[in-house]
Structure 1
Amino acid sequence: MSKTVKDLTAGTAGGIAQVLVGQPFDIVKVRMQTSAKGTYKGMLHCAGGILKNEGPLAFYKGTLTPLLGIGVCVSIQFGALEYAKRMFASQNASLGLGGEGGKTLTRSQLFYSGVFAGLANGVVSGPVEHIRIRLQTQSNVNPLYSGPGDAIKKIYSKHGISGIYKGQVATLVREASGYGVYFLAYEELVQREMAKKGIKRDQISPLNSVLYGAAAGYALWAIIYPIDMIKSRMQTDGFSAETGKKYKSTLDCVRTVWRTEGIGAFTRGLGPTLIRSPFANGATFLGFEMAMRALDSL
């Protein structure tokens, strides 16, 4: 099995683990991000309202899209990341840097590998998250979309590919900056343990993979949360004046939210994100590392 196929397969395992663990927290985050100011008193109020009015299965509303899409997204992330890391390692080896095989990458190399992974991922994650958010925020009474396929069909028929990719500018900014930091943080922790203990990557304990993934997740959200909020606003905004369009552009969205709701709007919904992050990101890296070890043993 080629290295790229292994990377993509292990990334898919990580993505599925991320969705199954993180989806209930994500729907609470999205509802809080996109609701009018004062709708919810806090995270528990929002979650309680969903449970009372829509039932427990509502926490997995729109899950089919991310389960398929995020699996692909994380697969692309790790595939692009590992490809970029191999390119930098080859460059280091030719210059006699980075130890054996040039595999010890500099921080800037790790960061740019993450940026590359984020941009590659953003091409798929933009429409996947757009459809998911449309499904997560629609009413249970006379819903506009019956499922992800119906949502894609209706949006594309009326608004074309630009409708499917609504909010893509914010998505790419979020992915590039966030995953640069995300993978830098994780790889720094992994490489530090390997160097300190003189061990190989597959000798790192699963628990540490979870802990390093959790730490990387916090680093990610510390950078991207305000951008993520703007992305959610853009992806729930109307497509035209007739359908309730509020924002002319991403920059107009930033200005409007700042002017009308203040700085607090940029961190609304942060609570469930911070609770979700260590579980979802720990599961992502654990899924990836364990799948990679299993594939290497074949």
Structure 2
Amino acid sequence: MSKTAKDLTAGTAGGIAQVLVGQPFDIVKVRMQTAPKGTYNGMLDCAGGILKNEGPLAFYKGTLTPLLGIGVCVSIQFGVLEYTKRHFAAQNTRKGHGGPDGKLLSSGQLITAGVLAGLGNGFVSGPVEHIRIRLQTQSNTNPTYRGPFDAIKKISSEYGIKGLYKGQNVTFVREAAGYGVYFWAYEKLVQRELAQKGIRREEIGASSAVLYGAAAGYVLWAVIYPIDMIKSRMQTDGFSPSTGQKYRSTLHCVRTVWKTEGIGAFTRGLGPTLIRSPFANGATFLGFEMANRLLNSF
């Protein structure tokens, strides 16, 4: 198996771990982001309402889409990231930088690798998250879509591929900005431990992978949360004025939310995100690192 194939497979393992751990928190975040102001008194009120009115399985509503899609997304992220890192390492070696094997990448190189990973991921994460959000926010008693495949069929048949990629511009902005700092933070923490302990990457413990992934997750959300909120609003908006469209563009969405709901709307739902982040992102990097070591042992 080639190195890239191993990275893609390990990334899929990380993505599946992320979804299974983070999905219940994500649905609470999305409901709070997209509901009218005053709908919920807070995170616990939202979660309690979901549990009472829709049952415990509602916390995994729309899970099939991210389980399949986010697995592919994270696979792409790590595939692009590791490929770019190897490119920079080879470049460093030729120039005599980055240590004896060129693997000590600079902050600029890590951020660039993360940005490219995010953009590559965005082509898949946009429609995947769009379908997931539609399923997470639809009525439980009179649902528009019977499941992810029904949602894809109905949206694509009526609005084409463009309909599936609703909110894609803001998705690319979120992915590029977020994953640039996300992977930079993780890799810098790994570099620090390698330098302090004089060990190889394969010797970093599972607890470190979880801890560094959790820290990287907090850095990610500190940068992208307001962008993510606008993405959620765009992806739950109507497709046209006749279907309840509120926002003509991303900029119009930002201006409308600011004017009608104030700055607080841009951080609504942050609580469940901050609780979810260390578990989901720790699981992502743990899944990737452990799967990668297993694959490289063959």
* Fold match by TM threshold 0.5: yes
CA distance in 2, matches of 1:292, 1:216: 19
Aligned residue for 2:96?
A: 96
Aligned residue for 2:183?
A: 183
Q: Is 1:286 aligned with 2:277?
A: no
Q: Is 1:169 aligned with 2:169?
A: yes
Task: Trace 1:188-207 onto structure 2 (pairs within 5 A).
Answer: 188-207=188-207
CA distance in 2, matches of 1:169, 1:267: 20
CA distance in 1, matches of 2:77, 2:224: 17
Q: Output the aligned Cα RMSD.
A: 0.4
SS, match of residue 247 in structure 2: coil
Aligned residue for 2:132?
A: 132
Aligned residue for 2:274?
A: 274
Q: Which runs of 4+ in 1 moved over 2 A?
A: none
Task: Trace 1:145-160 onto structure 2 (pairs within 5 A).
Answer: 145-160=145-160
CA distance in 2, matches of 1:158, 1:244: 15
Aligned residue for 2:30?
A: 30
CA distance in 2, matches of 1:41, 1:277: 22
Aligned residue for 1:220?
A: 220
CA distance in 2, matches of 1:294, 1:213: 19
- After superposition, what is the alpha-carbon deviation per residue over 1:228-251, rounded to whole angstroms, capped at 9, x for unaligned? 000000000000011100000001
CA distance in 2, matches of 1:292, 1:78: 11
2:272 is aligned with what amino acid? P
Aligned residue for 1:54?
A: 54
Aligned residue for 1:121?
A: 121
CA distance in 2, matches of 1:188, 1:262: 36
- After superposition, what is the alpha-carbon deviation per residue over 1:105-134, rounded to whole angstroms, capped at 9, x for unaligned? 000100000000000000000000000000
Aligned residue for 1:67?
A: 67
Deviation at 1:281, TM superposition (A): 0.1
Deviation at 1:101, TM superposition (A): 1.8
TM-score, with length taken from structure 1: 1.00
Aligned residue for 2:85?
A: 85
Deviation at 1:142, TM superposition (A): 1.5
Deviation at 1:86, TM superposition (A): 0.7
CA distance in 1, matches of 2:227, 2:260: 17
2:111 is aligned with what amino acid? F
- After superposition, what is the alpha-carbon deviation per residue over 1:210-267, rounded to whole angstroms, capped at 9, x for unaligned? 0000000000000000000000000000000111000000010000000000000000
CA distance in 2, matches of 1:234, 1:29: 15
- After superposition, what is the alpha-carbon deviation per residue over 1:150-206, rounded to whole angstroms, capped at 9, x for unaligned? 000000011011100000011000000000000000000001101111100110010
Deviation at 1:51, TM superposition (A): 0.1
Number of equivalences:
298
Aligned residue for 1:262?
A: 262
CA distance in 1, matches of 2:142, 2:36: 21
TM-score, with length taken from structure 2: 1.00
Deviation at 1:90, TM superposition (A): 1.0
CA distance in 2, matches of 1:83, 1:172: 20
Aligned residue for 1:4?
A: 4
Deviation at 1:70, TM superposition (A): 0.2
Aligned residue for 1:109?
A: 109
SS, match of residue 212 in structure 1: helix
- Structure 2 gap segments, 5+ residues each: none
Deviation at 1:141, TM superposition (A): 1.1
